[in-house]
Chain A
């Protein structure tokens, strides 16, 4: 993957190469395997993807890039994904879709995520196709 001028967002955050769509997707996930799976699935669906591993990187990306969709984990190394969801929903121009992807207790985590303002919730292990389908719901 080549960096395309967004290195200011976060050291270690990586943009995928454009795949023909101008849609931006931000993935906030500290698990390498999940991040790789989500990125591959979203790239296949035509998104241009940025992966960041923590809240700080995500906040910078939100400020500078205004992604259209966000896929985020709940347990991040520097904070709670629920706070992040609330922050995103409070933005003047929030992302069109926020999907929380979590490995926690399914029911509790789903309710907490939806109450915080997420549009949808998916428990790990997950189906990448289902994730893309949920992101594309209008």
Chain B
């Protein structure tokens, strides 16, 4: 923790701590040697003095090692940062300023990372210029080679995939397809993200279509956790409508749930008609993701609205909770009728979602919530209504206390 106060402070603390330890050991040895004069054999005194001196020496060696390591690593870090800064300036000059690129040479290490960092921050047309440089210097091919080779360590392959992910170049699909069967889960996870971001940068519709189909096939068969698939799908960006539509038609289980969630998060309203079919799935996660997707899109297709009363009465708490949130999208008259009974739901989450939905359903909803906080026959409904009114700042803590006492 001392390193955050600077290298000098850290070095000073290390020297002081270890000097105190070594000093204490020398002092103990001296005191014992003097005190034992004439009372113990010379051999015993020699052994004692040697053991203590040796320990002190080890402590001093440890100090030297720690400080030396710190000095070397901080020097290396400074050199690396300086090199990165130099290359970043240089690439910015080439890509944005129009300066000629460096003479053909290997772009590796700091030069490579700096070029990727510059590309990552740019939009078109400068982004394409950076991409041309990556191709020109063989950077993408090099990274794909490292990521795809099992001769390299997992760490090195992971770093290469991370750079490929950040670069988002529209190439390397065959390598990604191979890597999605890699025995290392970390590699498979990052491959999915790098592949998704590469898809996002494909401009040729024919290539995009075929590669999106390949990607969705691999994702559908993937054993990656739902969270990892979700993260990868979010990276598809411009390619998301195509990728998600394919998954909503063919995928099942976790992959389908992830696709529905991402469709909602990216507000892909175009695929609103593909969602209701999944609201009757046997998989609770899929149904919840479906309602969440529609809420995220802000869309209430009739095919979903007819299923809403059933979802609000579902045995599954999470389905009722998501359905309540969706109900808030309906016209106020319909929404209030469906939401008010849910204030007395047996689940705290559903009651809470209903109370918030009522609060956000216009003046009438707010009045209903206000009324429920004092007069609802169910004490749990009164309590959640009060809590939400208090949390939203609609009523003061004093007023909430008064109402709680009265009711």
Contact = CB atoms under 8 A, between A and B. Distances in A.
A32 B122 contact: no
Contacts of A37: 92, 95-96, 118, 121-122
Contact of B127 (A33, A36, A39, A125): A125
Interface in B89-118: 89, 91-93, 95-97, 114, 117-118
Interface string B77-99: 00000001100110111011100
15 contacts: A32-B84, A32-B88, A32-B117, A33-B118, A33-B121, A36-B88, A36-B92, A37-B95, A40-B92, A40-B93, A40-B96, A40-B97, A125-B123, A127-B122, A128-B122
A44 interface: yes
Given A33-B114, A40-B97, A44-B97, A126 B92 contact: no
Contacts of A128: 96, 122, 126
B85 A32 contact: yes
A60 interface: no
A62 interface: no
Greatest chain A CB density within 10 A among B92, B97, B120, B126 is at B92
B204 interface: no
Contact of B121 (A39, A44, A125, A130): A125
Interface in A83-138: 124-128, 130
B124 A127 contact: yes
A125 B96 contact: no
Size bracket of the A interface = 10 to 19
A43 B93 CA distance: 10
A126 B123 CA distance: 5
A126 B118 contact: no
Interface string A5-48: 00000000000000000000000000111101101110110000
Contact of B92 (A39, A125, A127, A130): A39
A126 B120 CA distance: 9
Instruction: Give chain A's interface secondary structure class.
Output: helix
A32 B125 CA distance: 21
Contacts of A39: 92
Given A39-B92, A44-B97, A127-B126, A34 B121 contact: yes
A125 B93 contact: no
A44 B88 contact: no
B22 to A, nearest CB: 37
A33 B123 contact: no
The size bracket of the interface on B is 20 to 34
Contacts of A36: 85, 88-89, 91-92, 118
Determine which residue in B88, B93, B121, B124 has the highest number of CB atoms from chain A within 10 A of its CB, and name it. Answer: B121
In the complex, the 8 A-B pairs of residues with the closest C-beta atoms, listed nearest first: A36-B92, A33-B117, A40-B96, A40-B92, A127-B123, A40-B97, A36-B88, A37-B92
A40 to B, nearest CB: 4
Nearest to A43: B97
Residue from A36, A44, A125 with most neighbouring chain B CB atoms (10 Å): A36
B81 to A, nearest CB: 8
B112 to A, nearest CB: 13
A45 to B, nearest CB: 11
A33 B93 contact: no
Nearest to A122: B123
Nearest to A33: B117
Contacts of A43: 97
A125 to B, nearest CB: 5
Given A36-B88, A36-B89, A44-B97, A125 B120 contact: yes
Contacts of B97: 40-41, 43-44
A43 B92 CA distance: 12
Interface in A28-74: 31-34, 36-37, 39-41, 43-44
A131 to B, nearest CB: 10
Contacts of B88: 32-33, 36
Highest count of chain A CB atoms <10 Å: which of B88, B114, B127: B88
A124 B121 contact: yes
Nearest to B97: A40
Given A33-B120, A125-B123, 20 more contacts: A31-B121, A32-B85, A32-B88, A32-B117, A33-B88, A33-B117, A36-B88, A36-B89, A37-B92, A37-B118, A37-B121, A37-B122, A40-B89, A40-B97, A44-B96, A125-B122, A127-B122, A127-B123, A127-B125, A130-B123
Given A40-B97, A44-B97, A33 B92 contact: yes
A127 B95 CA distance: 12
Nearest to B113: A33
Nearest to A127: B123
B118 to A, nearest CB: 5
A38 to B, nearest CB: 9
A124 to B, nearest CB: 6
Contacts of A31: 121
B119 to A, nearest CB: 9
B152 to A, nearest CB: 26
Nearest to B91: A36
